[in-house]
Structure 1
């Protein structure tokens, strides 16, 4: 992965050895934590792991096996056995996806300081990415009807972090230009406002433009972000 000056990564550290939760080291003088959060595992299982679609797939497959068995005259015992195996495999698959979502949520910490955004995640291998606000060129927010949502970040000045290193905390279908993303956040509109303020301050200090992309919501039509650069609240 290629990173411009300012973006750094720490890989392989144990979470228990962190001097400050969610950070690879102690904060330097003049820097302080503004906010920390993590994904909601239920929302993460649905939006990132697509566990509900896997459940639907195996449910349809079980019904098909039942109907096909009856139509083919396979016998009640044989048909029920086939359906039972399908349901069992489906339950195991959904269970694995949900279990992984729980582990991801427990091992992920999103941190905003007055200087940078820090993404720490990793179930088996801990990874921690320090992303100064000046390296973020644009941000967006997607809000659902219950206030949960995602905040993808577009990196500027040629910054790039490899898609596999970020997953599942990356905007889908951005493999060529991966965008780090805070996923499945409760009260995401409030978090977006905090982040937008810090990005605007960093942009003003660097005398460069900052782009706040339009709010996307799954419950209501899109609304454009205000002209001051802050994402519109849901």
Structure 2
């Protein structure tokens, strides 16, 4: 498993290098930016929070003896700040989705992420023990990958492409991908073919091999 810093030009879209002989791309996709804004950047919760703050500001003015017009004026003076904050969060979500490419080949999963500093995480199937899919807004889904053995990637390096709250052993996550059931099924099929192991019927998730069979791999940087 490895990650590499990328620059402007890619030899193959979404990949840090030309795939070796025998490897081919099975699927590529990116997050739905609106679903990512809701799921990872929590814009709905932020909107509710800012709305409550504005209501509280107006209520304080009224409680201090101010008129309804004064309360509206105080709210209007404060309104640009939450609007700017919401716009910035939406722009971050859009940029994050726009610069992200998830690639599934017949040998690995590659995550090209990063707005300013681009990173490519190569996850060979031998390093993936299991995958879990959860539905998200706008008919999308999150696909979390459980890494085998002692492999780990720093949570902050992955975010927002990491399973929430899995801090001790972060799980890379394909966030808010369209048609998640199809993608999970493709992943299960390719994983099974590459490892020779089965997948859980119906769930389309790789089945973790016995602990003794998990490969010991190192996280390399280059």
Same fold (TM over 0.5): yes
Contact persistence 1:119–1:130 (CA under 8 A): yes
Q: Secondary structure at the match of 2:79?
A: helix
Kindly indicate whether residue 99 of structure 2 is the aligned counterpart of residue 125 of structure 1: no
Kindly indicate whether residue 131 of structure 2 is the aligned counterpart of residue 139 of structure 1: yes
Tell me the CA shift for residue 61 of structure 1: 1.1
Q: 1:145 to 1:77 in 2, by over 3 A?
A: closer
1:54 to 24, 46, 60: 46
Contact persistence 1:8–1:131 (CA under 8 A): yes
Aligned length: 205
Moved over 2 A (4+): 74-82, 144-147, 209-212
Mapped partners of 1:170, 1:197: distance in 2: 23
Mapped partners of 2:13, 2:162: distance in 1: 21
Mapped partners of 1:126, 1:202: distance in 2: 28
Q: Secondary structure at the match of 1:17?
A: coil
Q: Secondary structure at the match of 1:27?
A: coil
> What residue number does 1:10 align with?
4
Q: 1:144 to 1:165 in 2, by over 3 A?
A: closer
> What residue number does 2:157 align with?
165
Give the TM-score, by structure 1 length. Answer: 0.82
Mapped partners of 2:10, 2:21: distance in 1: 18
Q: How large is the RMSD of aligned CA atoms in angstroms?
A: 1.7
Q: Secondary structure at the match of 1:91?
A: helix
1:102 to 94, 98, 122: 94
Higher relative contact order (Cα pairs below 8 Å, separated by 6+ residues): 2
Kindly indicate whether residue 49 of structure 2 is the aligned counterpart of residue 82 of structure 1: no
Which has the larger displacement, 109-118 or 193-202?
193-202
Contact persistence 2:35–2:138 (CA under 8 A): no
Mapped partners of 1:127, 1:82: distance in 2: 45
> What residue number does 1:43 align with?
35
Kindly indicate whether residue 194 of structure 2 is the aligned counterpart of residue 202 of structure 1: yes
> What residue number does 1:3 align with?
none
Kindly indicate whether residue 16 of structure 2 is the aligned counterpart of residue 28 of structure 1: no
Tell me the CA shift for residue 211 of structure 1: 6.5
Instruction: Flag structure 1 segments of 5+ consecutive residues without an equivalent.
Output: 1-6, 213-224
2:60 to 68, 83, 93: 68
Mapped partners of 2:72, 2:45: distance in 1: 23
Q: Deviations over 1:189-214 (max 9, x none)?
A: 1111111111222331xxxx6665xx
Tell me the CA shift for residue 75 of structure 1: 4.2
> What residue number does 1:230 align with?
204
Mapped partners of 2:29, 2:132: distance in 1: 17
